[in-house]
Amino acid sequence: MNLNRTTKYLLITLKKSILVKADAAGATTTLGTLNELQATMRRSENPPADLQTKIDEKVAELAPYVEKLSENPNALKVGSRLFLQNCSVCHGSNAKGATGYPNLTDNDWLYGGEASNILTTLHNGRIGGMPAWRDQIGEDGVRAASEYVLSLSPNNGSKSNGELDQTLVNQGEAIFKQQCALCHSESGKGMISAGAPNLTDNIWLYGGERETVRNTLRYGRAGVMLSGKLS
Ligand code: HEC
Ligand code: HEC
């Protein structure tokens, strides 16, 4: 199931008061335990090995309540207020995002669009891990791999890119299969377990202009989504 835009707003409404109003009281116990586990995590320098697993389990337990809340107009209203207060600074007041900040209103997800994926994003935070490639494959490799990436997009990444250099595309394909498929998958469609974006659509987190893609490859990217208390 893909959650629509309004549902996404509501995902941040996992506050006690709203859960009670929405008759999702069972979630308050889970949320209480989760808050304690997360506090322990923040306090400990060497967290026990199973602590993160326990946190992930509690987050997963909350997912059905989130889906239930999506039918509650009151929760949606509070959710959109919370969104404006806590999230719009980065994702925009219409949630359509900006360079480096994903659009939350489409069906393209770095980390998955199920309630459990989104809850994990919000509770644990996320750090994008696109390595820098210039030292490993050289400037020539960067140019070839970039050209191949552009060839995967419906309109070569951007109108301003013009024609592609087919020799570079072919060289880049070999590099891609060897170095990039691990995270972006063989087809280039991405992988939510790695947070690696789909490179075959028209949606760009950092931009599809040739030089922007080259910079993504040269220097790497690491978008940061913090977790924390909502105000
Ligand atoms: C300081 C800026 C910032 C704030 C504030 C912020 N985000 Fe994010 N968010 C990001 C960035 C950057 C990413 C992408 C992380 C990456 O590139 O790996 C992201 C990713 C996400 C994702 C994952 C999208 C996907 O495609 O999988 C969701 C969902 C999300 N944010 C929701 C929220 C919500 C809800 C709030 C408010 C509670 C919020 N964000 C507040 C910067 C922010
Ligand atoms: C270790 C996993 C990993 C490998 C290997 C990897 N990437 Fe990535 N890539 C990512 C992640 C994660 C992101 C998203 C970064 C972020 O959210 O800030 C990304 C982002 C990108 C983007 C930006 C897409 C956009 O929408 O703006 C491009 C282009 C890209 N990678 C191409 C490549 C190419 C080409 C290679 C091989 C030379 C490669 N990647 C290898 C994980 C990887």
Q: Are residues 36 and 13 located together in one domain of the fold?
A: yes
Q: Are residues 146 and 88 in the same domain?
A: no
Report the separation in Å between the CA atom of 211 and the middle of ligand 1, taken as the mean of its atom positions: 25
Q: Are residues 140 and 62 part of one domain?
A: no
Task: Give yes or no: residues 106 and 71 share one domain.
Answer: yes
Distance 125 CA to ligand 1 centre (A): 8
pLDDT on residue 41: 86
Place of tokens 């629509």: 4
Last residue in a domain, options 89, 124, 159: 124
Residue nearest to atom 41 of ligand 2 (CA): 180
Q: Tokens 């304690």 — which residue? A: 36
- The conformational region for residue 208 under phi > 0 = left, psi -120 to 50 = alpha, else beta, is alpha
Q: Is there an atom of ligand 2 within 6 Å of 181 CB?
A: no
- In this prediction, residue 18 carries a pLDDT of 58
Domain that holds residue 75: 5-124
- How many CA within 13 A on the CB side of residue 139? 1
Structure pTM?
Answer: 0.90
The Cα–Cα gap between 225 and 89 comes to: 12
Task: Please tell me the predicted confidence (pLDDT) of residue 1.
Answer: 36
Has residue 30 been placed in a domain? Answer: yes
Specify whether 149 is located in the same domain as 108.
Answer: no
Tokens 């995002």 locate to 97
Which ligand 1 atom is the nearest neighbour of the CA of 129?
18
CATH code (residue 117): 1.10.760
Let me know if residue 189 belongs to a domain.
Answer: yes
Question: Which atom of ligand 1 has the smallest separation from the CA of 112?
Answer: 27
Q: For residue 23, report the phi and psi dihedrals to the nearest 5 degrees.
A: 60, 40
Confirm or reject: Cβ of 180 under 6 Å from ligand 2: yes
**93 and 166 part of one domain:** no
Nearest ligand 1 atom to the CA of 86 is 37
Pocket of ligand 2, candidates 130, 158, 199: which has the most ligand atoms within 8 Å of its Cβ, to mutate? 130
> Which pLDDT does position 185 carry in this prediction?
97
Position 70 scores a pLDDT of 72
- Looking up residue 198, the CATH number of its domain turns out to be 1.10.760.10
Q: How far, in Å, is the centroid of ligand 2 from the Cα of 196?
A: 6
Q: Are 75 and 169 within one domain?
A: no
- The answer as to whether 230 is a domain residue is no
Q: Is there an atom of ligand 1 within 6 Å of 222 CB?
A: no
Decide: 149 in ligand 2 pocket, CB within 6 A. yes
pLDDT score at 163: 95
How many domains is the chain built from?
2
pLDDT at 11: 59
* Per-residue confidence in pLDDT tens, the chain, 231 aa: 344 545 555 555 555 555 655 556 677 788 888 888 988 988 888 888 899 899 889 888 888 887 777 777 777 777 788 888 888 899 998 888 999 999 988 888 999 888 788 888 888 889 999 999 999 999 999 999 999 999 999 999 999 999 999 999 999 999 999 999 999 999 999 999 999 999 999 999 999 999 999 999 999 999 998 876 666
**Domain termination site, one of 124, 147, 171:** 124
Could you tell me the distance, in angstroms and rounded to a whole number, from the CA of residue 101 to the centre of ligand 1?
A: 7
Is 193 within the bounds of a domain? yes
- Same-domain status, 62 and 98: yes
Same domain, 63 and 168: no
The SS3 call for residue 127 is strand
pLDDT at 7: 57
144 lines ligand 2 (CB under 6 A): no
Residue 213 · residue 157 · CB < 8 Å: yes
99 and 143 belong to one structural domain: no
- The residue among 124, 144, 165 that closes a domain is 124
Alpha carbons 210 and 216: distance in angstroms, whole number: 10
Q: Which ligand is nearest to the CA of 5?
A: 1
